[in-house]
Amino acid sequence: MNKNTILCVLALSVLIFTFSVSTVAAPTQMEKAGYKLESDSFVSVVLGEQRTVHVQLPKSYSLKPDQNYPVLYRLDGKENLPLINSVLERLQEANAAPEVIIVAIENTDRLRDLYPTINQEPQGPVGIGGGAAKFLTFIKTELMPRVEQKYRTHNFKMIAGGSAGGTFVLYALQTDPTLFQAHIAYSPAVWWDYGATAKTTKDFFIKTKKLNNYLYINIGKEGSFMRERYDEMFQAMSTSTPKGFTLVSDVFSDVPHGLTSVAGIFNAYHRLFLSQQMPISAYNGDTASITAYYDHLSQQYGVKTSAPELVIRELGYHFVNRGNLTEAIKLFQFGISQYPDTPDAYNGLAYGYEQNMQYKESLEQVNKALELSKAGYEGYEVYVARKARLQKLLAK
């Protein structure tokens, strides 16, 4: 083999190696973090063009084949995924948010699709916009059925977007109020077209008397006419909030427009999702409120969840510490009705009776706790000690 032949072989080898490396897609940041990211491009009949979405599946998706997940539709593409993931992961670690499927929708003509009206105001690009109705139809009739057919979803759906995307979120809320169960609008650009969306949103809130839904909305450091139109709209929203509607808002006066999604994302999801540890503020004095809380949580998470025995018992302890023993005993009794085979539930009621100096009733409950447990069970020694203490008290 002569020198030229050797050089040709070497060059060909380098080309083959280079081609092989370039065709192997490097793992994305999301995939390195344990998510599975799938891209889907298809021709939309509604829009008359090819559209691309990226679907990020939860880390547990392949491990829990029987579980369905809520879906977040995020406008403006997959660049938003790292920020969403970082916030939701922290909430999930605290049992304060479910895992979700995220559908990131890429843009082709952003201003056309996201604004409901064609702008006629000289302060913006005149003659652009007006495609929101068609874009919402695309999401509802093409994208959602496609996602729901391919993936294990349940019926809790969210939509989030910023600026023009935030305006589209408000448009979706007033046009089809039950399509999404939660709406997140970061600094919506409601100045567009002489405040057209601000006006329709204001009218929607004034006219709507009842709506079980959620909206997070914020505003940053904005120009005067943008802020004026937003403030007028928000005034109507906050004073005419429909029954059952949750409105959460933030004002970031020193945060520029482009950073309001970063500033608001924690509050948006923290206030949306219920924690698996029901807060004391959710209890209204009726044990039905505990059941209602976990029914709502089940709707969000897609997994039937009942109030844990410990949560009910700790709520009872809270009222013992406040000196409201009647309320505490009611809660301990409710805990037993939900967990009749759990020793700690009976010991909780025994504690309540003991604090209320009802020693005979307390002994009856601790004996039930002992019947349901045995030496070695966590808490068994506590039951034994309580029984001995109660027997001494009753012997006096």
Task: State residue 318's pLDDT score.
Answer: 98
- Token digits of residue 345: 């539930």
Per-residue model confidence as pLDDT tens digits over 216-242: 999 999 988 999 999 999 999 999 999
Distance from C-alpha of 278 to C-alpha of 284, rounded to nearest angstrom: 12
What is the enclosing helix (H) or strand (E) of 221? Answer: strand 210-221
Give the domain 29-272 fold.
Rossmann fold (3.40.50)
Q: Give the Cβ contact number of residue 21 at 10 Å.
A: 9
Residues in Cβ contact with 228 at an 8 Å cutoff, skipping those fewer than 6 apart: none
Mean pLDDT of 316-336: 98
Could you tell me the two tokens for 15?
A: 């080309």
| pLDDT given at position 18 | 31
CB under 8 Å, gap of 24 or more: what pairs does 255-260 form? Answer: 255/220, 255/221, 256/220, 256/221, 257/163, 257/187, 257/220, 257/221, 257/222, 258/163, 259/220, 260/162, 260/186, 260/187, 260/218, 260/219, 260/220
The CATH architecture that domain 306-395 belongs to is: Alpha Horseshoe (1.25)
Question: Edge-to-edge strands of the sheet including 210-221?
Answer: 36-44, 49-57, 101-105, 69-75, 153-162, 182-186, 210-221, 243-256
Statement: residue 390 has pLDDT above 80: yes
Q: Report the predicted TM-score, pTM, of the whole model to 2 decimal places.
A: 0.88
Could you tell me which residue, 18 or 310, shows the higher pLDDT? 310
Gap between the Cα atoms of 363 and 105, Å rounded: 62
**CA distance linking residue 40 with residue 386, whole number of Å:** 62
Residue 169 has pLDDT above 80, yes or no: yes
pLDDT value for 28: 60
Q: 24 pLDDT exceeds 50? A: no
Average pLDDT of the residues of the chain: 92
Of the pLDDT bands very low, low, confident and very high (cuts 50, 70, 90), residue 396 is: confident
Q: Is pLDDT at 27 greater than 90 in this prediction?
A: no
Exposed, middle or buried by CB within 10 Å (0-12, 13-18, 19+), for 20?
A: exposed
Q: How confident is the model at residue 25 (pLDDT cuts 50, 70, 90)?
A: very low
Taking only the tens place, the pLDDT of each residue in 178-188 is 999 999 999 99
Work out the angle at residue 135's Cα, subtended by the Cα atoms of residues 129 and 141, and round it to the nearest 5 degrees: 165
User: For tokens 């009856």, what's the residue?
Assistant: 364
How many other C-beta atoms lie within 10 A of the C-beta of residue 275? 15
Tens digits of residue pLDDT in 235-251: 999 999 999 999 999 99
- φ/ψ (deg, to 5) at 153: -110, 160
Give the DSSP letter of residue 257: G
Is the CB of residue 84 less than 8 Å from the CB of residue 74? yes
Gap between the Cα atoms of 212 and 153, Å rounded:
20
pLDDT in tens, 185-205: 999 999 999 999 999 999 999
Q: Is the per-residue pLDDT at 1 higher than 60?
A: no
Of 113, 100, 109, 106, the C-alpha closest to 54 is 106
Domain boundaries, the chain: 29-272, 306-395
pLDDT above 60 for 3: no
How do residues 250-276 score in pLDDT, each as one tens digit?
999 999 999 999 999 999 999 999 999
In this model, does residue 12 exceed pLDDT 60? no
Integer Cα distance of 396 and 392 in angstroms: 7
**How far apart are alpha carbons 184 and 186 in whole angstroms?**
7
Q: Is the pLDDT of residue 358 over 90?
A: yes
Pairing between strand 36-44 and 210-221?
unpaired
Residue 8 has what pLDDT?
37
Has residue 15 got a pLDDT over 90? no
Q: What is the mean pLDDT of residues 290-311?
A: 97
